[in-house]
Amino acid sequence: MKEHEGLITESLPNGMFRVRLDNEDLILGYVSGKIRRSFIRILSGDRIVEVFASNNGTPSLAMVAIFAKACSAKVGE
């Protein structure tokens, strides 16, 4: 599995996102099952790690894993 860091540029329906990777590639990614079940909100501007299941970088499986900074929202806000 390959991992790339990127920035969410656009939030699309059904947990899909446009992501600009650090190497300037623009890809389409989606939220992994654990993050979807936890109801974690992902917004434009969040830094993420994109995980590819295939080594050639094709969009066969691109899951979003969020950095801890994006998940550290204060309780009650």
Instruction: Please report, for the chain, the start and end positions of each structural domain, with discontinuous segments joined by +.
Output: 2-71
Look at residue 45 in the predicted model and tell me its pLDDT: 85
**Residue 48 to residue 6: CA distance in whole angstroms:** 5
Look at residue 61 in the predicted model and tell me its pLDDT: 43
Look at residue 54 in the predicted model and tell me its pLDDT: 61
Give the single-character DSSP code of 56: T
Look at residue 65 in the predicted model and tell me its pLDDT: 56
CATH topology of domain 2-71: OB fold (Dihydrolipoamide Acetyltransferase, E2P) (2.40.50)
> What is residue 73's three-state secondary structure?
coil
Look at residue 57 in the predicted model and tell me its pLDDT: 53
- Give the residues of the chain that fall short of pLDDT 70: 1, 51-77
Which residues, listed in sequence order, are joined to residue 29 by a DSSP beta bridge?
17
What pTM was computed for the model? 0.64
Look at residue 37 in the predicted model and tell me its pLDDT: 79
